[in-house]
Amino acid sequence: MEIFLKLPSREEIIQPVVDFIYSLSVQRGFSEKEASELATAVDELITDIVLFAFGEEEGEFSVNIRESPSAVEIIIHELGEPFDPNRHTYSVEKAVKEGNFDGAGFKVIKELVDDFVYIYRGKAGKEFRIKKEIKHPHITELFTQEELTLEPEKAVSYQISPVTEEDAEDIARLIYRSYGYSYPKEDMYYPDRIVRILKEGKKFGVIVRIDRGEAVGYFAVIMSTDSNIGEVGEVVVSPKHRGKGIMKMMMKALIDMAKARGLLGLFGEAVTVHTISQKVNAKYGFKSTALVLGFFPYIEYKGFEHKQQRISVVIDFLPLKERAQVNVFLPRRYAGILKEIYSSLGIEAVNIPVREKMKPTGKTELNLIMNYRFKNAVLVVEEYGEDFSSRIKNSLQALEKKKIKGVYVDLPLDRPFTKKAVEILREEGFVFSGLMPLFHSERDFLRMQKVYEPLDFDYINVFSNTAKKIKRLIKREMKND
């Protein structure tokens, strides 16, 4: 869920906002102490904005509250006086000797929450991001090690059924038994988080049990938050029950369920440590559309030799609704590969020429999606403005200071300025990533990427011919930069 508040910079609004944050936090699973800590951090921040950001003038600021099963993120944006918190660091020595408490507020906030990020956006103002995680019991706190590692023996038969909230503990146990602590989606180790996301309808899936009732397979689709597509993003088969056709059974059921729900498409993020998941996706009609470099932190995959570097993924997409043709603005340097990707999806891409030099007006609309744990950020361009270049530069500078490992920019292919935007991003060190079909608001996007750690392409394994062409293009661009 996402809540957006637009507020005047007046002292009388501070307490109602803080009270709302506190109440919402308790409702979402925080203890009273944790909710109080988050509310205090927000209180400290918006008080500073109201009292100091606009001087004698009255201004406005926005509060955007984003929730997930594991955390609450609060994004505060304002257009007040320029301010650099890095120049206002708290010093105990200054406080004692000089009575100078400059920077104390930010220090308090950092101690109360899990993540606190400041992003300077130039003329678009300042953005503060506060994130606090919800403490749920880990599956290892609920069961003994023997209960978690006991492997179901041979089965007479397998039964598949839709996942329900009652399956949450069995799913978490299955994940732990199969992956130990290495499964990248940490929420899957917390039954309470699984229950919540199922209850809210943010995912659907299937579970496979043997004749004695023990769970040996699980596969789910996570619904996109801003488009009518889903990710086949959670899958596990118990080690002793692999090779029995369980994966095939579950994939077929999920595709049928997705079609029945009216989804426009499904996508998968297949790791490039091995090609197994890519081959499975290809078997069911998924087509490779992008190669996203260094998207996940390094994880050791048992049974596979791979270099200790960040994990790249291939985006595989399965259309569920026919689109015979799309009219798009294809950047010249990528027109060929994008047409080929579209063709693999059964779509004819008609390139719209830009006959006149078109300059966007107004302000650029950017949606920043940060993954604090994975240390990456996705910038979604919703609309271009005349400040596009400066917005990108300011965002990059802010993210680099936060030691983000990879920045990915999604450019809308239904806007003519995308042809120019590609060249602006190339000057900033970005390279091609691929097509993200229907990824935001049922629109197609071109993804560009910039990674900040070296990658050995010999350990980035791709399966399909299209993925191999994308990999060669990216490697060539990175070599020439």
Query: Domain 325-480 is in which class?
Result: alpha beta
- Helical axes 191-199 vs 168-179, angle rounded to 10°: 130
Region 94-110 average pLDDT:
60
Question: Which ranges in the chain are annotated with CATH 3.30.565.10?
Answer: 2-133
Pick from 41-55, 300-314, 325-339: least confident: 300-314
Predicted confidence at residue 55, as pLDDT, reads 73
Question: Which ranges in the chain are annotated with CATH 3.40.630.30?
Answer: 139-263, 325-480
Instruction: Provide the pairing of β-strand 287-296 with 265-271.
Output: unpaired
Predicted confidence at residue 304, as pLDDT, reads 60
103 has a pLDDT exceeding 70: no
Which CATH superfamily includes the segment(s) 139-263? Gcn5-related N-acetyltransferase (GNAT) (3.40.630.30)
91 has a pLDDT exceeding 70: no
56 has a pLDDT exceeding 80: no
pLDDT-derived band at 88, boundaries 50, 70, 90: low
pLDDT-derived band at 357, boundaries 50, 70, 90: low
The pTM score is 0.87
Q: What percent of the chain has pLDDT over 90?
A: 69
CATH architecture of 2-133: 2-Layer Sandwich (3.30)
As a whole number of angstroms, the distance between CA 169 and CA 214 comes to 12
Summary mean pLDDT of the chain: 90
Predicted confidence at residue 95, as pLDDT, reads 43
Q: List pLDDT tens digits, range 412-429.
A: 999 999 999 999 999 999
Instruction: Report which of residues 153 and 370 the model is more confident about.
Output: 370
11 has a pLDDT exceeding 70: yes
Using CA atoms, how far residue 157 sits from 152, 164, 214, 246, in Å, is 13, 21, 11, 11
Q: List pLDDT tens digits, range 265-323.
A: 999 999 998 898 899 999 999 999 999 999 998 877 655 666 789 999 999 999 999 99
pLDDT-derived band at 82, boundaries 50, 70, 90: low
451 has a pLDDT exceeding 90: yes
Instruction: Provide the pairing of β-strand 229-237 with 265-271.
Output: parallel
At 172, which amino acid appears? A
